[in-house]
Structure 1
């Protein structure tokens, strides 16, 4: 995901800032300046490895930095994000979960853990991380993912509560989600329309046909060309 690449770049720049601070706040200048210089060199190699598409070297340098700076979570965050970008989801999840053992409010680690566990099919383990992401950041997409996983895990009452929270949030009209179409193209619809569609699916699973129909019709009123909802409504009828 592109946002993980953005996060990795931001964390890299932040780590440079930390290095600069260390050079001005040491009690043993000669020893500490030597360590800072080695860490900066490792970071430069890491950056070059990313630029030249050599993830094995990039990972190696991050492991080196983690070992030398166990108190600094940023290097582990970068490693978790890199594993995710490489679609090595098991490794990404393991690194992220280790970070969360120390700091369960670490947003980058929560993000990597949630998406990696979802990719691995461990929906029950991914769910609490999406819930935490929403609670800590207010991110609406995390709330949508929460509601969808609750629905997938047949936690219908919780899913309805999450969906209703999303529908009532005015920002859900502004944010977009992308869905596939039958002709192999995609279409963007508002998150509110997506939430209303999900609400219809929840009611359908519960056998509440009239409520499901009302939810699907509300979704179409919001996004008339929403193909998936059109199909869901046809199946309901």
Structure 2
């Protein structure tokens, strides 16, 4: 996965240079012709999307991006198409390009965070999840931050995030946990945070504290299978 991300970074740098060079060398179009071409490509993009043809939709977005490099919404639409198609390297590259222009673009932050996570570049995904939480107050982004911090063994940061989550989680907030290969169970955000708190303690061999956290999670959600399994590890 490290190799994947190194290649991603190289592509990002090369892509920025190539895009800048291409834009600088393009001839200036007559405004009326440009408007006509834009309208045609936008119409073709909409038709392609209505027919579930992302390949043609992406082609039209590239035409629009080349002709209108200053219009960010075409990059945003392209990032979404790549992400929906599970083309995570491309989705990450486009979203990071957008973030160079506007580092508070929440859509790009979200796509960058999840794409980089899918690529296994957890240390690069984490700042995007953290920024997303700071900008939106979304507790799921905070949970993702805490979970990645835990996986990176940054236990103090993870515990701080979990503490905030336990305090701020709303009663109606749920998060999905796998119950089997085909089933998912909905667990309250607070119970999920307490389960993660237990995992952090367990990793540090603090079994008594881990046991307390798992029991608190189960008390909130008695059907929480993962917390029950984790509780067994404290004996």
Is TM-score (shorter-chain normalized) higher than 0.5?
yes
d(CA) in 2 for partners of 1:123, 1:192:
23
Deviation string 1:80-137 (CA, Å, 9 cap, x unpaired) is 1100111110011011111111111111111110000000000000000000000011
d(CA) in 2 for partners of 1:48, 1:161:
48
Deviation string 1:49-77 (CA, Å, 9 cap, x unpaired) is 12212211111110111111111111001
Q: Which residue of 1 aligns with 2:199?
A: 201
Q: Which residue of 1 aligns with 2:39?
A: 40
Q: Which residue of 2 aligns with 1:151?
A: 150
1:94 aligns with 2:90: no
d(CA) in 1 for partners of 2:181, 2:234:
22
**Cα distance, 1:33 vs. partner?**
4.8
Segments of 4+ moved more than 6 angstroms: none
Q: Which residue of 2 aligns with 1:16?
A: none
Q: Which residue of 1 aligns with 2:210?
A: 212
Q: Which residue of 2 aligns with 1:175?
A: 173
d(CA) in 2 for partners of 1:219, 1:186:
17
Deviation string 1:117-164 (CA, Å, 9 cap, x unpaired) is 000000000000000000011111100000000000000000000011
Q: CA RMSD in A?
A: 1.3
Q: TM-score when scaled to structure 2? A: 0.84
Q: Which runs of 5+ in 2 are unaligned?
A: 1-29
Residues 195 and 213 in structure 2, CA contact (< 8 A), matched pair in contact too: yes
d(CA) in 2 for partners of 1:170, 1:142:
12
**Cα distance, 1:170 vs. partner?**
4.2
Q: Which residue of 1 aligns with 2:18?
A: none
Structure 2 SS opposite 1:177? strand
Q: TM-score when scaled to structure 1? A: 0.83
Structure 2 SS opposite 1:178? strand
d(CA) in 2 for partners of 1:183, 1:53:
28
Q: Which residue of 2 aligns with 1:120?
A: 119
Deviation string 1:152-182 (CA, Å, 9 cap, x unpaired) is 00000000000110100142x2111111114
Number of residue-to-residue matches in the alignment: 206
